[in-house]
Structures are given as C-alpha cells and as structure tokens.
C-alpha cells in the first residue's frame, strides 16, 4: 500500500475573546475566529509499518518525546473506538514552532486522524473520528477540516466554513516557547467569573479581505495582555510588524506567535524579508491565511 501524506497547517486565532471561566468544570469559555496558514508541518503514514512515530525537521527538537506526541495519542484514541483500525508508521516533518499559539501539535494530530480516516474509509465527520479529536485536545476538532470558521465553548463548538478571501500575512515567533497555563494564570479569572468586554463581531460568510480586516479590527485577543507579562518580547514583535505597514497586528492563541495582515502578498513578503534580516533568530513566515 502506498505512503499517505498530508499537511498540518498552522492555526491562527484572528480573534480570541475569553468569555469567562465556567463554574461547572473550571475551563475557560471562548469565542474565536480561526484561520489556517499556508505554512505547515508535513505528516506521512506508511501502512506497512507498525504504529509509531519518527520526527525530523527544523523544529523537531522542541517537539518533545515521540511516545507522548499528539499524533500517537490521536491514533490511539481512534483505535479505541474503531475495532481493527488499520494504522502504520507515521513520520512528522516539523516546521512550525512549538508552544507557539498556532496549534502545531493539534494540527499534527488532526492530520493523523485524516490519514487514518483515509486509510480506513472513514468520513471526517464520523462520530468516532470527532470523538477521538475531542479527546486528543481542545483545538484538534477545529483542525480536522482546516478552513476559516468560528470556534466556541472550549473548542468543541465548531462553526461552518466561512469561505473568507485569502489574507496575505506574516507570522513571527521570537523563539520563546510560551506554555498556555502561565498565560491563563496571568489572566487571573476565578471559577465562575466572567471577563467583561464587547461582544464578538458577527463574521459573515464570503467576506473579502477588506471586509475581514474591518470586521475583526474592533475585536481582540484577550490573552495578549497577560501573555505580554509572561513574554514581553511579544510586544517587540508587534511593534516591529506595525512599523512595516501592516493593516493589523495581533497575537495568536496564547502566544508567542504574532500575525500581521497586509494589503497584498508583495507587502507581506517585503516585510518578512526585512524582519528576517533584522532578527535572524526569529521564525518568520510570509503566508496566506484562509
């Protein structure tokens, strides 16, 4: 049987409103417009091999032990639900930064589920696949079908694809891993407490680039202020992007990756080239968000 392959694109939170901390389970409820980048990890599956994972690529080192990788967790969760599930040997080419607020591990896990679904003739919206995604991690379900959409709750409420126009963008990570837990701790919400703030704007399907920027401009990432206390370098990256003529610069997820939207691809590539030269230790990726 031939080798199967898929991309695991970076997940970017164009907005991230924290509504509060739920009284029943203590989880943070959110509302977020999510898009996916052209830049991605790559995952292959060799059905002839035993279930396992090898990792290579420029960010393979920080990815951690392969035995606890989300790729294998996703495969095991699906195997527990599908008797006789066909699996194989995974190889992950890791290009996205780790602990970076762009869902790299979650996207890798979703790619693993897509490959296993293809191998076993399962639909991506099959109850077994969706349940395995949810058990693997809060961001995995939205990564199963990586297209721009709204995400609510703790990630389990996934909206329909919005078919937004591709957005020319630059992603920058300053090379500082930012674990999620300290950022939420700095946010400081008690169980049952709500976070005040304007409601999330309505995002209509099929918006063009100008309309997307206008719609999300008044929105926010509620984790950006606490993340700045954990990793002040995020503020330096935001300022650098704003100095390069972007239309909007904002942190993604819990950081430390920042995105900037540009009027066209040429502006994004020019800014990325300049910033890469000025900060060779930063991970800089011009891309499109869809």
Distance in angstroms (rounded) separating the CA atoms of residues 100 and 105: 10
Selecting among 11, 41, 94, 222, the annotated active-site residue is 11
* Same domain, residue pair 77 and 219: no
- How many Å apart are CA 44 and CA 107, to the nearest integer? 13
Residue finishing a domain among 95, 126, 158? 158
Do residues 42 and 75 lie in contact, with contact meaning Cβ atoms separated by under 8 Å? no
Element (H, E) at 168: strand 167-173
CATH code assigned at 276: 3.30.70.890
Residues 179, 142 share a domain: no
Residue with tokens 């008044």: 218
Is 128 in the same domain as 13?
yes
One domain for residues 95 and 175 = no
Helical (H) or strand (E) element with 7: strand 4-13
Q: Catalytic: which of 6, 41, 108, 139?
A: 139
Give this prediction's pTM.
0.96
* DSSP code of residue 244: T
Backbone angles phi, psi at 55, to 5 degrees: -135, 135
In this structure, are 177 and 251 located in the same domain? yes
- Is residue 139 annotated as part of the catalytic site, yes or no? yes
What does the pLDDT read at residue 64? 67
Which residues does the chain have with pLDDT short of 50?
A: none
221 DSSP 8-state letter:
B
Query: Which of 103, 128, 158 marks a domain boundary?
Result: 158
CA 117 – CA 144 distance, rounded (Å): 11
Whether residue 57 is found in the same domain as residue 103: yes
Residues 150 and 8 in one domain: yes
Is residue 79 domain-shared with residue 206, that is, in the same domain? no
Residue 158 has φ and ψ, to the nearest 5°, of -110, 125
Residue that is written with structure tokens 């991605």 in the block: 40
pLDDT of residue 101: 96
Quickly list H helices, the chain.
70-79, 104-120, 127-136, 140-143, 180-187, 209-216, 224-230, 233-242, 265-278
DSSP string, 115-147: HHHHHHT--TT-HHHHHHHHHH-TTHHHHSS-S
Same domain, 154 and 202: no
CATH of the domain at 37: 3.30.230.10
Q: Please indicate whether residue 185 is annotated as part of the active site.
A: no
Claim to verify: residue 25 and residue 117 sit in the same structural domain: yes
Closest CA to 249 of 200, 241, 257: 241
Give the residue from 18, 58, 12, 65 showing the smallest Cα distance to 196: 18
Query: Do 25 and 123 belong together in one domain?
Result: yes
Given a contact cutoff of 8 angstroms between Cβ atoms, the answer to whether 206 and 223 are in contact is: no
Q: Exposed/middle/buried for 233, CB within 10 Å: 0-12, 13-18, 19+? A: middle
> What total of structural domains would you count in the chain?
2
**Distance (Å, whole) CA 126 – CA 117:** 9
Q: Residue 215 sits in which domain range?
A: 167-289
Q: Round to the nearest angstrom and report the end-to-end CA distance of the chain.
A: 32
In a shared domain, residues 14 and 146: yes
Domain boundary among 109, 139, 158: 158
Q: Is 64 exposed, middle or buried (0-12, 13-18, 19+ CB in 10 A)?
A: middle
């Amino acid at each position: 049987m031939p080798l199967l392959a898929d991309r695991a694109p970076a997940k970017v939170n164009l907005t991230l409103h924290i509504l509060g901390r739920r009284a029943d389970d203590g989880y943070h409820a959110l509302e977020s417009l999510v898009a996916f980048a052209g830049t991605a990890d790559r995952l292959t599956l060799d059905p002839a091999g035993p279930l396992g994972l090898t990792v290579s690529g420029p960010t393979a080192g920080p990815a951690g032990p392969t035995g606890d990788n989300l790729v294998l967790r996703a495969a095991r969760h699906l195997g527990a639900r599908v008797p006789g599930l066909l699996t194989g040997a995974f190889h992950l080419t890791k290009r996205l930064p780790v602990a970076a607020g762009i869902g790299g591990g979650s996207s890798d896990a979703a790619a693993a589920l897509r490959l296993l679904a293809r191998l076993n003739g399962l639909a991506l919206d099959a109850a077994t696949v969706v349940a395995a995604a949810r058990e693997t991690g809060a961001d995995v379900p939205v990564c199963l079908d990586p297209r721009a959409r709204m995400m609510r709750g703790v990630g389990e409420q996934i909206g329909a694809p919005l078919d937004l126009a591709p957005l020319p963008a630059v992603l920058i990570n300053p090379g500082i891993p930012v674990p999620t837990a300290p950022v939420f701790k700095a946010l400081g919400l008690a169980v049952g407490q709500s976070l005040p703030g304007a409601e999330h704007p309505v995002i209509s399907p099929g918006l063009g680039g100008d309309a997307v920027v206008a719609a999300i401009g008044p929105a926010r990432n509620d984790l950006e202020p606490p993340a700045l206390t954990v990793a002040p370098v995020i503020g330096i990256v935001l300022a650098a992007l704003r100095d390069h003529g972007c239309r909007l610069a904002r942190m993604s997820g819990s950081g430390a990756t920042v995105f900037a939207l540009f009027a066209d691809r040429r502006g994004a590539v020019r800014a990325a080239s300049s910033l890469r030269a000025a900060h060779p230790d930063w991970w800089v990726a011009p891309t499109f968000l869809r």
